[in-house]
Amino acid sequence: MRNAPTILHLDMDAFFAQAEQASKPSLRGKAVVVGGLGPRGVVATASYEARVFGVHSAMPMAQARRLAPNAAYLVPRGAFYRQISDQVMALLRALSPLVEPLSLDEAFVDLEAGEAAWDSESARLAGVRLRADIRAVTGLTGSVGLAASKMLAKIASEQAKPDGLVLIEPGTERSLLAPMPVRTLPGVGPATGDHLRRAGITTVGEMVEAGEDELVRLLGKAHGHALYGMALARDDRPVVAERETKSVSVEDTYDVDIHDRVRVELEVQRLADRCVRRLRGAGLSGRTIVLKVRRYDFSTLTRSETLRGPTDDPAVVREAAARLLDAVDTTGGVRLLGVGVSGLADFTQEDLFAQAAEVRAAEVRAAEVRAAEVRPEGAEEEVPEAPAVSEVVPAEHRWRPGLDVRHAELGHGWVQGSGLGRVTVRFETPGSGVGRVRTFRIDDLDLEPAQPLPLVPRRPDGAPAVDTAGRGPRPGNAR
C-alpha cells in the first residue's frame, strides 16, 4: 500500500447512454436505453433517468421495455463510442505512462509514475483537471476515485457517481470499508455473498471480525485468504500499462432460432471472416480456432481445434470452423453462434506467397457469402457496429433506431424508428437545439446512412479543444 492516494480510477458515467444524449439534443434529460433491440436483446447501458425505473445493464430488453415503456431504445454505435474512448484514453496517457484500460469507459492511472501527483492535494488537483479536460474534449462526464490502491480507487469512483470525485485518505481505509456490504469487495459475487450471508456475515467489518480462519473454512484457502486481505484494505496490485490479449472472438445472438443448416454454415463463415478482421486489426495471429454454439434449449457447446502454427488466414479459420461445426447437431435450432481464435502470436508460419493466393480466393468466397447472408437483428454479447456508410445491407436494417442519417435537403439526423416501409427521422446535431421530425419511405433516394458527428467542435487541425500536454505542477517545480 502507498502512503498517498496516487492511483486514480476513472469510470465514465452511463457511457453509451450519455454519448447518445450528448449526440441527440431531444434525448437530454430523458430515459435512454442502449442495447440489442430484438426480443432476445439485452441492455448494454441505461441512462440515470432510465435507472430510476429499475432498468440496468445486462437486463433483458423485454423486461426493460416493461419497466420503462416511454424510454428511447437505441442500437449501440460501437465505432462512435470507441472514438470517444480514444480521446479519453489520450487524456489519461497525458497524465501518466502507466494507464490500465479495463474497458472502453474505465481505466486505472498511476499518477505517481507520471509525476502528476505525489500527495493528497496534488492528486485531487489532477483528478479535478482530468474531469474538466474530459468534459472539454468530449462533452461528457466521468467519475474519479483516488486512493492508495486499485481496489479502493475503484470503490471511490463508484461512490463518486455520477459526475463526481472521491478521494480516500490513507489511514482511513478500514473504517471506510467496515460498514460496506461484502459485495463491495472484488471477487464477492452473488454466490459468495449468499454463502457469507447464511453464515451471518453481511458487511466487510463482519468479515474482519470473523477472522481469516473462518473465511478459509467457508470459502476455501485461496479465496478466503484473498478476501480477508481485501477486507483489511490490503491491495498491492500495480497499475499495468499493457494487458496481454488472450483471445479474439466474435459472436451473434439471433432473434429467431436458426434451423436451416445451410444458414448456420453461412453464419459461421461470416463470423470467421469478422474474427479474422479483428485479429488482423490487432496485428495478431493464433493457433486455436474455437466454435461456440448455443442451442434452442440454452445448452452451450464449445469446440476447438489447434493448428500446427499460428495463422491469420481467413480461409484457414473458415475451414477449421466448418470442421468444428460438422461435429455439432443443430437440428433443434441455434440461438447463438461464435467464432474465436486463441493461442495468439504476433507472427504467422504460412508461406507468404501461398497465403496471398489463399486470401485472394477467400475474398471471392467471402463476397459470395455476404451476398447470400441475412444479417441478424443485433448482437447480445458484444458492442455491435453500425453498418459502414458504403456497406450494402437490407433496407430494414439500414434504418435502426439511433443510427445516423443524412438527407439531401434537410441535413444530418438520426433514426427514431422504422416499419411498414417508412422511416422516421429527427433532424438535429450535437450543437443544435431539439430538431424537427419527418417521415420518409425507406427507399427515399434523398436519405442515406451517415457517420456520427463529433460531440465537441474541433479546431481546423483536428486537435482537442484544450491543450492537455504539460498540465499541472510537477514535484520539481512545485516545492
What's the burial of 281, exposed, middle or buried (CB within 10 Å: 0-12/13-18/19+)?
exposed
The answer to whether residue 106 is catalytic is: yes
CB-side neighbour CA atoms (13 Å) of 181: 9
**What are the cell numbers at 183?**
459485495
Positive or negative, the CA dihedral 310, 312, 316, 320 is positive
What's the burial of 366, exposed, middle or buried (CB within 10 Å: 0-12/13-18/19+)?
buried
Distance CA 204, CA 182 (A): 5
**From the CB of residue 232, how many other CB atoms can be counted at a distance below 10 Å?**
15
Contact 442, 457 (CB under 8 A): no
Q: What's the length of the chain?
A: 479
Distances (CA, A) of 247 to 100, 219, 250, 346: 18, 30, 10, 12
Q: Which residues contact 387 (CB under 8 A, 6 or more apart)?
A: 393, 397, 398, 403, 449
Distance CA 340, CA 331 (A): 23
Contact 32, 72 (CB under 8 A): yes
Q: Which amino acid is at 404?
A: D
Q: Which amino acid is at 89?
A: M
**Phi–psi pair at 264, nearest 5 degrees:** -60, -45
Candidates 106, 112, 173, 377; catalytic one: 106
**What are the cell numbers at 299?**
445448452
**Phi–psi pair at 23, nearest 5 degrees:** -80, -25
Distance CA 7, CA 108 (A): 7
Distance CA 339, CA 252 (A): 9
Contact 413, 426 (CB under 8 A): yes
Edge-to-edge, what's the strand order for the sheet holding 285-295?
Answer: 247-258, 334-345, 285-295, 300-311
Contact 144, 162 (CB under 8 A): no
> In what helix (H) or strand (E) does residue 321 lie, and over which residues does it extend?
helix 314-326
Q: Which residues pair with 247 in a beta bridge?
A: 342
Positions marked active-site: 106
